[in-house]
C-alpha cells in the first residue's frame, strides 16, 4: 500500500511521462516538472522562497509505502529488504527524497514462510512501483486540486 503526496512528480516508469504532480498554474493541465524547477537554469538550486518559503512543512509531503510479507524476517532483514525495495522510488517519483519530503518504505514480516531479504526487497521494488502508480491513478480530486483522472479528462487523454 502507498500513500503518495510527494513534492516531486509521479512518473509512469513504462513511458517516463509525468502522470501526477504540480501544475504550471492553477488553470493549467501541464505539469511543472519539479526536478527541472528545483535545479533551475545551469544547475543553480531554486530557493526556498521560490518554492513558497517553506509554506509546506517538512512533514506535509511524502511518499509512504508499506510492504507486508508472509516471509519470516528478522528486524535487520526487514530493514534490509525495505532499503532494497526503496531503490525503486526514483523510477516513479522525481525528485525523490528532497528536504521537503519524508519518503519511507517499510517491510512488515507477518508470517513464517521461508524466504530471504534479497527476494523480498527485489520483489518489493515491483510492489513499490506499482503501488505508487496505482495511488496516483486511484486518487480523487481534493477541492481545487484535480486528480490525475480529472486532468486527463480535461486534456482528453485516456489515462
Collapsed DSSP state (helix, strand, coil) of residue 120 = helix
Q: Which residue has the cell 520483489?
A: 123
Per the structure, the complete domain to which residue 80 belongs is given by 2-155
Q: Give me the pLDDT at residue 53, please.
A: 47
Residues 65 and 134: their CA atoms lie apart, in Å, by: 12
Domains identified in the chain, total number: 1
CATH number at 99 reads 3.60.70.12
Q: Give me the pLDDT at residue 159, please.
A: 47
Collapsed DSSP state (helix, strand, coil) of residue 54 = coil
For β-strands 93-94 and 104-113, DSSP reports them as: unpaired
Q: Give me the pLDDT at residue 147, please.
A: 85
The 10 Å CB-count burial string (b at 16+, else e) for 103-112 is: bebebebeee
Q: Give me the pLDDT at residue 85, please.
A: 99
Q: What is the pLDDT along the chain (159 residues), one digit of tens a residue?
A: 999 999 999 999 999 999 999 888 888 888 999 998 888 755 555 555 555 544 555 558 899 999 999 999 999 999 999 999 999 999 999 999 988 888 999 999 999 999 999 999 999 999 999 999 999 999 988 888 888 888 878 777 754
Residues 133 and 94: their CA atoms lie apart, in Å, by: 13
Please state the pTM of the whole predicted model.
0.84
Q: Give me the pLDDT at residue 29, please.
A: 84
Amino acid at each position: 500500500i502507498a500513500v503518495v503526496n510527494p513534492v516531486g512528480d509521479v512518473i509512469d516508469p513504462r513511458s517516463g511521462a509525468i502522470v501526477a504532480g504540480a501544475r504550471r498554474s492553477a488553470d493549467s493541465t501541464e505539469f511543472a516538472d519539479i526536478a527541472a524547477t528545483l535545479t533551475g537554469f545551469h544547475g543553480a538550486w531554486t530557493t526556498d522562497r521560490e518554492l513558497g518559503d517553506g509554506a509546506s512543512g517538512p512533514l506535509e509531503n511524502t511518499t509512504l509505502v508499506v510492504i507486508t510479507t508472509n516471509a519470516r524476517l528478522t528486524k535487520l532483514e526487514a530493514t534490509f529488504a525495505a532499503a532494497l525495495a526503496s531503490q525503486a522510488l526514483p523510477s516513479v517519483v522525481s525528485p525523490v527524497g528532497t528536504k521537503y519530503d519524508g519518503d519511507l518504505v517499510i517491510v512488515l514480516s507477518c508470517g513464517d514462510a521461508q524466504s530471504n531479504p534479497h527476494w523480498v526487497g527485489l520483489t518489493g521494488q515491483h510492489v513499490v512501483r506499482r503501488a505508487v502508480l496505482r495511488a496516483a491513478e486511484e486518487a480523487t480530486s481534493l477541492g481545487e486540486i484535480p486528480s490525475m483522472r480529472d486532468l486527463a479528462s480535461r486534456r482528453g487523454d485516456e489515462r
